[in-house]
């Protein structure tokens, strides 16, 4: 029997077990042996990937940034493999209450802006970088109110975003930063009524999660697994349930160009250094 490829994934939700057990069975039926390891945070997963303790990692965008930096600093290479169709061309929004009187981003001067967890790309790092680019310096031109829910999960747990929107609803902050797709979710679940929020600005598009290969992974085995994922069809009822749980219709080839906004945000805040070391003072995954 061939040695299984070991995939790392962060357990941000109980459904993660169902998803990877399902993919493991799907792949086994096609002669591809895999196993998976669940992590409580992305930092440990990335470190294990670079140490070749796992062959692949289902990485957040922030985890990709760190993995790539760690690899380059060691003269190694990690390879972007595939991503979900729903991972591409995302934006974050800076929102306020409709009718609050705020019409432009400049109206946030002297105000309180709610963000998600310290390590959330979509609710903290990227939107705060966007506000800097618009001439608003966090902590100087406006107060940042952070909601640290699920620290270490890199924004996969949207509780911090949700709490920021609740704080906006209750009036303890004047604006909130959220993934724009979550605006629909928060309305549908009743966190805020439909039409309650007004968008003041949106970030440039960015990409989200990426399957990443370890430096020492078997290229032939990885290529076979990659082909199997890219060949999954939403029309196939045996995988449709798994794809729905994972939030996609189709797997697409990985790409890295749309991580530029996050790279910039990481450098602006000193979240990681150029070699991938954790340098954020208040980050404890």
Write out pLDDT tens, residues 186-217: 999 999 998 899 999 999 999 999 999 999 99
**Same domain for 212 and 187?**
no
For the stretch 152-191, pLDDT in tens is 999 999 999 999 999 999 999 999 999 999 999 999 999 9
Do 99 and 82 belong together in one domain?
no
Does one domain contain both 194 and 254? no
Domain span at 135: 94-202
Are 176 and 222 found together in one domain?
A: no
Q: Which long-range CB contacts under 8 A does 240-243 form with residues at least 24 apart?
A: 241/22, 242/18, 242/19, 242/22, 242/23, 242/26
Q: What is the pLDDT of residue 194?
A: 87
Radius of gyration of the chain, Cα coordinates, nearest whole angstrom: 19
Q: Is residue 177 a part of any domain in this protein?
A: yes
Same domain membership, residue 99 and residue 236? no
DSSP-derived pairing of the beta strands 143-146 and 112-115: parallel
In a domain, residue 277? The reply is: no
End residue of a domain, out of 202, 230, 255? 202
Label residue 1 by pLDDT band (50, 70, 90).
low
242 domain-assigned: yes
Within a domain: 276: no
Q: Are 232 and 239 in contact (CB under 8 A)?
A: yes
The whole-number pLDDT of residue 76 equals: 98
Evaluate whether 283 touches 56 at the Cβ level (below 8 Å). no
Note whether residue 275 is domain-resident.
no
Mean pLDDT of 250-260: 97
Is pLDDT above 80 for 101?
yes
Q: pLDDT-based confidence at 223, cuts 50/70/90?
A: very high
Residues 63 and 147 in one domain: no
**Structurally, how many domains does the chain consist of?**
2
Question: What mean pLDDT, rounded, does the chain reach?
Answer: 96
Examine the domain organization and report whether 63 and 126 are in the same domain.
Answer: no
Establish if 283 belongs to a structural domain. no
**Predicted confidence band of residue 2 (pLDDT cuts 50, 70, 90):** confident
Helices 260-269 and 61-73: crossing angle in degrees, nearest 10, is 70
Handedness of CA 256, 138, 203, 176 (dihedral sign): positive
The predicted-structure confidence for 78-92, as pLDDT tens digits, reads as follows 999 999 999 999 999
- In this structure, what CATH number is given to the domain that contains residue 167? 3.40.190.10
Within this chain, do residues 143 and 187 fall inside the same structural domain, yes or no? yes
Judgement on whether residues 62 and 80 belong to the same structural domain of the protein? yes
Mean pLDDT on 35-61 = 98
Q: What is the mean pLDDT of residues 235-257?
A: 96
Shared domain for 145 and 192, answered yes or no, is yes
Together in a domain, 127 and 258: no
Q: 137: pLDDT confidence band, cut at 50, 70 and 90?
A: very high
The two structure tokens encoding residue 103: 């019409």
Structural domain contains residue 278: no
Banded model confidence at residue 100, pLDDT cuts 50, 70, 90 = very high
- Residue 170's pLDDT is 96
Are residues 63 and 100 part of one domain? no
């Amino acid at each position: 029997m061939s040695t299984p490829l070991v995939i790392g994934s962060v357990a941000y939700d109980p459904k993660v077990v169902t998803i990877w057990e399902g993919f493991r069975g799907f792949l086994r039926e096609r002669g591809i042996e895999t196993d998976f390891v669940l992590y409580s945070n992305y930092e440990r997963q990335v470190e294990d990937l670079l140490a070749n303790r796992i062959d692949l990692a289902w990485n957040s965008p922030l985890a990709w940034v760190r993995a790539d930096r760690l690899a380059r600093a060691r003269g190694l290479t990690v390879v972007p493999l595939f991503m979900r169709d729903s991972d591409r061309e995302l934006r974050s929004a800076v929102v306020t209450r409709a009718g609050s009187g705020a019409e432009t981003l400049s109206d946030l001067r002297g105000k309180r802006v709610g963000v998600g967890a310290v390590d959330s790309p979509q609710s903290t790092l990227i939107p705060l970088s966007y506000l800097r680019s618009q001439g608003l310096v966090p902590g100087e031109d406006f107060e940042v109110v952070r909601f640290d829910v699920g620290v270490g999960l890199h924004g996969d747990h949207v509780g911090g975003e949700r709490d920021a929107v609740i704080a906006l609803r209750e009036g303890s902050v004047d604006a909130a930063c959220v993934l724009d797709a979550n605006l629909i979710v928060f309305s549908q679940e009743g966190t805020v009524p439909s039409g309650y929020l007004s968008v003041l600005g949106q970030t440039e598009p960015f990409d989200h999660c990426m399957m990443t290969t370890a430096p020492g992974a078997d290229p032939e085995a990885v290529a076979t697994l990659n082909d199997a994922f890219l060949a999954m069809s939403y029309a196939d009822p045996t995988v449709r349930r798994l794809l729905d749980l994972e939030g996609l219709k189709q797997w697409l080839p990985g790409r890295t160009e749309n991580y530029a906004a996050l790279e910039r945000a990481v450098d602006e805040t000193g979240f990681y250094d150029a070699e991938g070391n954790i340098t954020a003072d208040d980050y404890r995954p």
